[in-house]
Amino acid sequence: MAGLINNLLILLLVFQNSCLGFRNPLSVFKRYKDTTRSLSSECLGNNRPVISLGLTDFALDIRMPGVTPKQSDTYLCMSLHLPVDEEAYVVDFRPQASMDTVHHMLLFGCNVPSSTENYWDCDEGTCTDKSNILYAWARNAPPTRLPKGVGFKVGGETGSKYFVLQVHYGDVSAFRDKHKDCSGVTLHLTHQRQPLIAGMYLMMSVNTVIPPGEKVVDADIACHYQKYPMHLFAYRVHTHRLGKVVSGYRVRNGQWTLIGRQSPQLPQAFYPVEHPVDISFGDTLAARCLFTGEGRTMETHIGGTASDEMCNFYIMYYMEAKHAVSYMTCTQNINPDMFRNIPQEANIPIPVKSDMIMMTHGHHHEETKKTDDSFSLKQPKREEEEVLDQDFHIEEAVDWPGVNLKLGQVSGLALDPKNNLVIFHRGDHLWDGNSFDSSFVYQQRGLGPIEQNTILVIDPSNADILDSTGKNLFYLPHGLSIDKDGNYWVTDVALHQVFKLGVHDNEPLLILGRSLQPGSDKNHFCQPTDVAVDPVTGNIYVSDGYCNSRIVVFSPNGMFIMQWGEETSVGKAKPGQFRIPHSLTLVPEFGQLCVADRENGRIQCFRSETGEFTREIKHKLFGRELFAVSYIPGGLLFAVNGMPYPGDIVQGFVMNFSTGEIIDTFIPVRKSFEMPHDVVASEDKTVYIGDVYAKTVWKFTSTEKAETVIEARLKNKPVSTESQKKWEKHHIVEQASPGISFVLITTLLIIPIVVLLAIAVFIRWRKTRVYGADADHKLESSSGRILGRLQGKGSGGLNLGNFFASHKSYSRKGFDRLSTEGSDQEKDEDDGTDSEEEYSAPPPPPVSSSS
């Protein structure tokens, strides 16, 4: 009998050791807390970033580590690593801030924060990889609770590993007493898998200008929705002082359905969508911010300081987990005319009490008298006001095989409606010093037209040639454009003509200009360089060209409408003057046409309807020449300069169209630019550049889309999938204890107990057979001493905490909440009844693909 009891004790010790070896995921909280940042003494009450809420739930306290900003409009950031490796879901946000000191807060999710310091100036960026906005707060907004079954996914293989908190301190006078600020947000997370995944959709105007004294100014935003169905459950509005009302809508078949409407001068919380709204493929999301310029003495632009403005409409949504997208943005207006039908409510300000206005955005009563008319385009950009600038980098796609295509001189690039790359090249023809005489008449007609296919359709992913055309049609190809119907529009500088070609047509559908005849009247061109077709009106814009200095406009059927431009005079080039208008790009949402004014090294933009000059973009980095320009919806302008002069660097540029500022520059890794001639970009920020001298096309991608490319560049070698898997495996082995899933740990805890009970039953059965009824009392007295240690003081449940605590040197931390008895009375201080200010969003309706 003593041997049996010893065997049971050994089994229990094995069980204990297995439990210690495979700790509950919550046990990592102790490890994490030991290494957490040190806070200011004024924040000592907030130095527990991780708080266990039971077997599957925990709270994460994300706070500024006791900071004192030195000047107004300071943006400070800090990061916190997710303390578990497996997937978790954020289901609740509780702000810990006051508008007396904080203008607004943003919470991002990402994998690589911009700094490893306790906190840093957000001018350094928030994250070096793609970041998603998870939460936004301003003006004493109450907590936000997600509907049941909905959560923001973090951790695991695909979720964010870090939280980055950005705090905007608007008015530094709140820190006259030199106190230290610990503002932040507390998250409630759970390991329980959520069937519906939450995400954030940000609608934001990036180009609004509010004239001084103007009574009413509208900022409109609209985008097509082209993803799986999403269901909206909360919204938030954000402007600065001049905003009166912000409204968001779904537009379906011409019908406007309200998502939410609120004054940005009220607490900027996430308010529940009163009537559930679903968004399906083909719908349009639209928003309007209503501003006033009264009281201002100069223009107000979109920007990050209190004297600037913003127009943001945030939407919280959920999607089925298998189709979930965590973050989407809309920064354009695809159809300005649709806003003629916007419901009248969007044009009616919401009254706000004067005492609320006095406290706008955390500025105290006495500070509101200060002037707020200072403005500078050079103000540092912040994450909220300008997503275009957020840690944005373009890198060559080093594994794209298209760079090795056998091509002639590459003169033109475009993207067709399927987003395939289309290349226009010169085959075996060359443009050299013998091609033209002094009157610009082509001198090599005896060569005949190019015998190769000059138009190639390329698969953007693997560079396979999908289609080809243009054989025996052209002598010296130059510009290429593709209209919304997929027709090719090309220019030939030798023929002095513009052609419209169907994809599979052997003959041109339309020809402008006279073959081989240079001229400058309505019916002739002189070496035309490029062509663009307005997607709305169908009007045709031709840049003409090497020996003319003008833009010529034709109707869709080729009738002359107007022209503008002149040769550059001596001295500084004036607006509307050209020295080789070389490349065109339309900016439909602004009604503008932009021209790469090559030899003047600048971009000029004009109103497409009138030819009226609107702006010039010129930078020293351009050097002496700027060859090509391309615009994508959302406010990004791409350009490339040409053959270098001493001191110039040949490179590509990414610019903010609204401000003209350079966001990024880029060069290839494989080969080098010699004379890059054309550039084209897609909406996902994939960029292609063709070079006439190198006879090459490069593909570039953004860091938001190709993090592995950046890693390869930093390591100066391609990323190996196999090595990545090995690293992940090694990383998992190193962190096996905290990485064990909840289900596995539960199983490991239960199996020894089942085995123990089975052995006890077997012993009881054997004793009964051997000793008879007297065995009952003997078994109870021996096994009772063991099980009694598991039960602890109470007789109603299993208390693993007490059991393990009875062993010397073992800490209870991490197991206290595992007791099955008394847990109903064991609550954190914050577990009381919800505040009356807090709203609980309505539960989601059944998921459906359409309404």
Residues assigned a catalytic role: 103-104, 166, 168, 238, 240, 310
CB 252 within 8 A of CB 222: no
What is the rounded CA–CA span in Å between residue 652 and residue 448? 35
Q: Specify the pairing of strand 57-63 against strand 540-544.
A: unpaired
What is the rounded CA–CA span in Å between residue 303 and residue 382? 8
For residue 545, cis peptide bond before it (omega within 30 degrees of 0): yes
Residue 527, sorted as left (phi over 0), alpha (psi -120 to 50) or beta, turns out to be: left
Closest CA to 332 of 110, 591, 578: 591
CB 818 within 8 A of CB 804: no
SS3 state of residue 771: helix
Place of tokens 């001596």: 570
Q: What angle do CA 154, 160, 161 make, to 5 degrees?
A: 100
CB 630 within 8 A of CB 690: no
Strand positions, DSSP E, 588-712: 592-597, 602-607, 613-617, 626-632, 636-641, 652-656, 662-666, 676-681, 687-691, 696-702
| Residue 473 amino acid letter | L
Strand positions, DSSP E, 170-254: 184-190, 196-204, 209-210, 217-224, 230-238, 243-252
CB 565 within 8 A of CB 613: no
What is the rounded CA–CA span in Å between residue 35 and residue 32? 5
Residue 163, burial from CB neighbour count under 10 angstroms (0-12, 13-18, 19+): buried
What is the rounded CA–CA span in Å between residue 789 and residue 800? 9
CB 705 within 8 A of CB 686: yes
β-bridge partners, 255: 252
Give kind and range of the element (H or E) at residue 144.
strand 144-145
Token pair recorded at residue 572:
């500084």
DSSP 259-275: EEEE-TTS----EEEEE
β-bridge partners, 501: 488
| Residue 378 amino acid letter | K
| Residue 34 amino acid letter | D
SS3 state of residue 666: strand
φ and ψ at residue 247, rounded to 5 degrees: -130, 140
| Residue 535 amino acid letter | P
Torsion on CA atoms 258, 263, 264, 267, rounded to nearest 10: -100
What is the rounded CA–CA span in Å between residue 554 and residue 562? 7
DSSP 732-750: HHHTHHHHS-HHHHHHHHH
Closest CA to 554 of 573, 531, 580, 586: 531
